[in-house]
């Protein structure tokens, strides 16, 4: 019982700890301080927030170092940094989306969506109909090419390859393909078509080839992951009933993984629909509507945004923002569809 011999209070069994509401209090003080400084010394919202963050990140650890100990202070310091890193990362997203909506909404009207830019001079009303159609056609053709290839390749990797040497090589190459810069894909399509049709060729189908080169790896990766999630019990049950392998794949494995595969495909489409560089190089740009994938230049939405931006006129700038709003709306819609499909089909995959 030597412990009892020590006079009470000399060796505390607990050390000091900041109350639970300490971060909130310091946060409020920091915001108030930033606001006060903004009012007194002037300065925008940005300067005020920077001051508030700095006050918070400095004050809380100091208080903690006084009451708690150095280690706890470091912990609080890092926690503050990590929260502010997240807050800072949200700034560009919010900023960008509000700018696109603000500037785009005033441009978009019925004519903007249904007119093309042919013979549009000066302040005459033009539109992005030609670009919208081009984007839908080129992306659609790219999806038609890359989805079967991607899904069959994934089937090979999961069902037939089973980690043999070829499957490993293909997996590696798919990884490499994921890293191909989009402009290189465009140059590849260009080089291919130039070789076949001569140096001045520009056509929408070339854009589709470039986009599908970018799309195939994403489709393969997502389909492969989904197929691997299908439990082996299902396959074995099917084999036990005497069903041949290909019927097992088409009737058991694919339907089970369908939701995930469709989600992956939609996400892959949303990824390539905003690609600009390859289309700029291969499909070129034009002011008129072109429905023929194989002949002539074809406008697409991203290239429309780029050319309007590059025209450096107030009208061009407004059209660029309008096009950006339409493009972002399409991409977000595709993302939403993918998530909804994923949600609807999720229980069936047994996850």
Q: Provide, rounded to whole angstroms, the least separation between the CB of residue 130 and another protein.
A: 17
Asked if 176 is part of the footprint of another protein (rule: CB under 8 A), the reply reads yes
The DSSP-derived string for 86-111 is HHHHHHHHHHHHHHHHHHHHTT--HH
User: Considering only residues 13-52, where is the footprint of another protein by CB under 8 A?
Assistant: none
User: Considering only residues 132-151, where is the footprint of another protein by CB under 8 A?
Assistant: 148-151
Rounded to 10°, the helix 45-67/22-41 angle is 140
116 vs 275, beta carbon nearer another protein: 275
Using CA atoms, how far residue 147 sits from 80, 190, 215, 223, in Å, is 45, 22, 8, 10
Q: Which residues 6+ apart lie within 8 Å of 77 measured at CB?
A: 57, 60, 61
**Selected binder of another protein within 120, 335, 342, 349 (CB under 8 A):** 335
User: Considering only residues 247-266, where is the footprint of another protein by CB under 8 A?
Assistant: 247, 249-250
Asked if 156 is part of the footprint of another protein (rule: CB under 8 A), the reply reads yes
- CA–CA separation, 146 vs 107, rounded Å? 35
Asked if 179 is part of the footprint of another protein (rule: CB under 8 A), the reply reads yes
Binding mask 47-86 for another protein (x = CB under 8 A): ------------------------xx-xx--xx-xxx-xx
Q: CB neighbours (10 Å) of residue 71?
A: 10
32 vs 73, beta carbon nearer another protein: 73
Tokens 């740009």 locate to 285
Asked if 281 is part of the footprint of another protein (rule: CB under 8 A), the reply reads yes
Q: Provide, rounded to whole angstroms, the least separation between the CB of residue 149 and another protein.
A: 5
**Selected binder of another protein within 190, 262, 266, 283 (CB under 8 A):** 190
Write out the two tokens for 113: 């969506």
């Amino acid at each position: 019982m030597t412990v009892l011999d020590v006079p009470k209070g000399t060796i505390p069994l607990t050390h000091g700890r900041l109350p639970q509401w300490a971060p909130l209090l310091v946060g409020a003080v920091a915001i108030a301080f930033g606001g006060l400084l903004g009012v007194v010394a002037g300065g925008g919202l940005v300067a005020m927030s920077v001051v508030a963050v700095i006050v918070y990140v400095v004050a809380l650890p100091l208080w903690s170092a006084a009451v708690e100990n150095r280690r706890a202070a470091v912990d609080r310091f890092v926690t503050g940094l990590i929260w502010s890193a997240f807050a800072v990362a949200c700034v560009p997203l919010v900023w960008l989306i509000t700018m696109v909506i603000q500037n785009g909404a005033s441009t978009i009207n019925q004519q903007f969506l249904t007119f093309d830019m042919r013979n549009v001079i000066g302040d005459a009303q033009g539109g992005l109909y030609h670009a919208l159609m081009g984007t839908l056609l080129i992306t659609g053709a790219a999806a038609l090419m890359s989805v079967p290839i991607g899904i069959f390749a994934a089937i090979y990797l999961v069902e037939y390859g089973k980690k043999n040497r070829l499957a490993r090589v293909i997996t590696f190459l798919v990884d490499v393909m994921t890293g191909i810069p989009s402009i290189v894909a465009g140059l590849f399509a260009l080089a291919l078509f130039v070789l076949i049709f001569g140096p001045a060729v520009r056509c929408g189908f070339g854009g589709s080839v470039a986009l599908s080169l970018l799309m195939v790896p994403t489709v393969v990766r997502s389909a492969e992951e989904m197929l691997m999630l299908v439990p082996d019990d299902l396959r074995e049950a099917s084999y036990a009933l005497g069903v041949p392998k290909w019927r097992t794949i088409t009737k058991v494995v694919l339907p089970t993984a369908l939701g995930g595969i469709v989600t992956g495909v939609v996400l892959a489409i949303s990824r390539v629909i905003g690609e600009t560089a390859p289309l700029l190089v291969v499909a070129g740009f034009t002011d008129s509507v072109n429905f023929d994938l194989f002949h002539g230049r074809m406008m697409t939405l991203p290239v429309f945004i780029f050319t309007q931006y590059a025209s450096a006129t107030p009208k061009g700038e407004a059209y660029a923002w309008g096009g950006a709003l339409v493009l972002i709306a399409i991409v977000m819609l595709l993302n939403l569809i993918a998530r909804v499909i994923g949600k609807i089909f999720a229980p069936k995959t047994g996850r």
